[in-house]
Chain A
Amino acid sequence: MTGAPLIEVEDLRIDLDDGSRRVAAAEGISFRIDRGETFGLVGESGCGKSITALALIGLLRPPLSIGSGVIRFDGREIQHLSAAAQRSLRGNRIAMIFQEPMSALNPVSPVGRQIAEMFVLHKGKSWREANRLAVEALADVRVPAPERRVNDYPHQLSGGMRQRVMIAIALACGPDLLIADEPTTALDVTVQAEIIELMRNLCAERGTAILMISHDLGLVANVCRRVAVMYAGRIVEERGSADIFRDPSHPYTQGLVDSLPRLGSRAALGRSRLKEIAGVVPAITNFPDGCRFNPRCAHATDICRSIVPTADFLEAGGLVRCHHHA
């Protein structure tokens, strides 16, 4: 991995226009992903992780818009590209898969055609050639009997098979970056394992970087090399994925890691009361001043209630936004 990162986000702010005023749904978002790297964005619903992904792929629509900041893809700023330029980037070099494949697929079009369309639109192939490539793409995502399955409609496939089709569509044009937004949340655990392994292996083979978005810290830490944790519109901690579980630095991350019943912990340590994170996630229109976690934080002091913490580098590597981090 030499030189420039594949994608670099600098101080991105995403505005939500609620009719009378603009509020920042996400702000101060900065991170970079190298070529072929796996990077995770983790957080609860409403923390801004999905809209950050939509901003990268140029799919923010009113009332959401990019307020300020820079998104650099392969050295080029893309935050203000025209719709046409964005369209050619999307699908071709940046692709995305979503949580619910049934709603992301066209229900009245055979899945083979939906894959073939990628080759026709982005690669200028003939339909005949594109259909042949679609069969290959289905075989690549390990769909059995792909030459028959291309004629199936989405409702004829299981949830796992549909997500495989989504991956085939996303990877059809050999993108540099795959954004996976909760790709397995709707699936059972054994199917989740299949889909994750498929995605991980295909992207590793092809050198495709992954930006994985999930509420499941455990899953993201397993899949990704680095993880950023978001809370109430800001990244509060960014670490190597093993470090974030062993030695979380931000009180919110610590709370998350401690509050989850981990498989094997009862057998090893006995059953104790789970550590709770007090309070609730603040509403977007009502973010607290200073550090947004301060009303729920046991370590909060006056400075936390008034001044936004800066992102500090940690000796062990990584970043944390907390006035009182170790």
Chain B
Amino acid sequence: MREQRGKGDDDLILSVEDLAVHFPVGGGLLGRNRRLLRAVDDVDLKLKRGECLGLVGESGSGKSTVALSILGLLTPTRGRIVLDGQVITGGPSGDRKALARIVQMVFQDPYASLNPRQTVRRTLEDPLRVHGVTARSEIEDRVATMLRHVGLRPEQADRYPHEFSGGQRQRIGIARALILNPRIVICDEPVSALDVSIRAQIINLLLELKDTLGLSYIMISHDLGVVEHMSDRVAVMYLGRIVENGDWREIFERPAHPYTQALIAAIPDPLRHAPLATTGGDLPNPLNPPNGCAFSPRCRYAEDVCRHEPGPSLDTRPDGHAVRCWRAEEIVGQAALASTESG
């Protein structure tokens, strides 16, 4: 099923180019006073075969909108999405079925995302039937194999979701996503709804499946510990734009954007009874974004240039680390100086 190869850059399974998704909001009967909510703007992402791209950012930053666009569930206002060599920017009118065979999603809440009135077998069989697998024996085979892959027993297939624990339900959710042998799986907060003592099981399972089935992941999470553990590259979003994008080690060890730094500093250190670093203020209203850099009202490094249009562009350094900040060079220099002084 994997013989098809993309054209062009062989290494890339997905590229998102200049993606924008805008929603008209409000307005009267005649469409006056309509405003534009720029949920996603100028987003460029690349996902290599076999890699995991972490997508982080707070609620309202546009992570899920990017995910829905890649899944073909939203029509982008602008931009191109190339999946495994095919341009798929047709949106919902495009060939959803072909798309579903390439990219699938694992949802946050396994209680809400499984049909409570369907047995596990039915949940796993339906996509196969829709996609033209009709031979009884093949269907049974694939359902049993998939259940074993996710650590369940084939004889559990005739049970209903409520008969399973939260962790097992998420395993069913993963099986549902993988039953069509997709190349890419978008994991949207896959462990946030699970008990803490179950999370490690699911994280280990996802990483194992990625290797054994040759999958590529987009991992959406607000838990930076999980993102660091799973990702090869990390993109940080703020108010609809990517503000930093780079190798996982670069992002976590040498974060260059003040927002990335703030996110990392806000994580409580359990070994230290010390105040958490605070940023000040909430996410701005996306209908009325600040002038210049969207993070400037909350940024401790902000200067005049940051508060005026045009906002900074996403500049890629030679090592592939990209940052959207006028003052990135100075800030990284200062941080390095501070760490040598304190070290």
Interface residues of A (CB under 8 A from B): 44-45, 158, 160-161, 188-194, 196-197, 200, 215-219, 221-223, 225, 241-242, 245-246, 252, 255-256, 259-267, 271, 273-277, 280-281, 296
Say yes or no: A273 contacts B263, CB within 8 Å.
no
Question: Which residue of B is nearest A259, CB measured?
Answer: B200
Residues of B within 8 A of A194 (CB): 278-280
* Residue of B167, B195, B207, B272 contacting most chain A CB atoms (<10 Å): B195
Question: Which residue of A is nearest B252, CB measured?
Answer: A267
Chain B 216-235 near chain A by CB (<8 Å), digits 1 or 0:
00000010111011000000
Chain B 274-295 near chain A by CB (<8 Å), digits 1 or 0:
1111111011000000000000
Say yes or no: A259 contacts B199, CB within 8 Å.
yes
Say yes or no: B200 contacts A277, CB within 8 Å.
yes
Q: Once bound together, how far apart are the Cα atoms of A200 and B278, in whole Å?
A: 13
Q: Once bound together, how far apart are the Cα atoms of A219 and B270, in whole Å?
A: 6
Q: Once bound together, how far apart are the Cα atoms of A158 and B280, in whole Å?
A: 14
Q: Once bound together, how far apart are the Cα atoms of A242 and B268, in whole Å?
A: 12
Q: Which residue from A193, A221, A256 sits with its C-beta under 8 Å from B278?
A: A193
Question: Which residue of A is nearest B229, CB measured?
Answer: A261
Interface size class of B (residues with CB under 8 A): 35 or more
Query: Given contacts A193-B277, A267-B253, is CB(A281)–CB(B266) below 8 Å?
Result: no
Residues of B within 8 A of A192 (CB): 266, 276
Residues of B within 8 A of A45 (CB): 195
Question: Which residue of A is nearest B262, CB measured?
Answer: A190
Main secondary structure of the interface of A (DSSP, over half): helix
Say yes or no: A263 contacts B195, CB within 8 Å.
no
Q: Once bound together, how far apart are the Cα atoms of A225 and B272, in whole Å?
A: 10
6 closest Cβ pairs, A-B complex: A222-B268, A261-B229, A188-B58, A259-B200, A221-B270, A193-B276
21 contacts between A and B (CB under 8 A): A188-B58, A188-B283, A189-B224, A189-B267, A193-B279, A194-B279, A200-B275, A216-B268, A218-B267, A222-B270, A222-B272, A222-B276, A242-B271, A252-B197, A263-B264, A266-B228, A267-B228, A274-B204, A276-B204, A277-B198, A277-B201
Known: A197-B278, A263-B264. 20 other contacts (CB 8 A): A161-B282, A190-B263, A191-B282, A193-B277, A194-B279, A219-B270, A241-B273, A260-B199, A261-B225, A261-B228, A261-B229, A262-B270, A263-B228, A265-B229, A266-B228, A267-B252, A276-B201, A276-B204, A280-B165, A280-B168
Question: Which residue of A is nearest B230, CB measured?
Answer: A261
* Residue of A44, A188, A218 contacting most chain B CB atoms (<10 Å): A188
Chain B 180-205 near chain A by CB (<8 Å), digits 1 or 0:
00000000000000011111110110
Query: Given contacts A193-B278, A273-B204, A275-B200, is CB(A263)–CB(B271) below 8 Å?
Result: no
Query: Given contacts A193-B277, A267-B252, A273-B204, is CB(A261)–CB(B270) below 8 Å?
Result: no
B249 within 8 A of A: yes
Query: Given contacts A193-B277, A223-B268, A259-B197, is CB(A188)–CB(B229) below 8 Å?
Result: no
B59 within 8 A of A: yes
Question: Which residue of A is nearest B207, CB measured?
Answer: A273
Interface residues of B in 143-199 (CB under 8 A from A): 165, 167-168, 195-199
Question: Which residue of A is nearest B272, CB measured?
Answer: A222
Residues of A within 8 A of B283 (CB): 158, 188
Q: Once bound together, how far apart are the Cα atoms of A252 and B263, in whole Å?
A: 29
Say yes or no: B203 contacts A189, CB within 8 Å.
no
CB distance from B325 to the nearest CB of A (A): 17
Residues of B within 8 A of A200 (CB): 275
Residues of B within 8 A of A246 (CB): 271
Question: Which residue of A is nearest B58, CB measured?
Answer: A188
Q: Once bound together, how far apart are the Cα atoms of A267 and B234, in whole Å?
A: 14
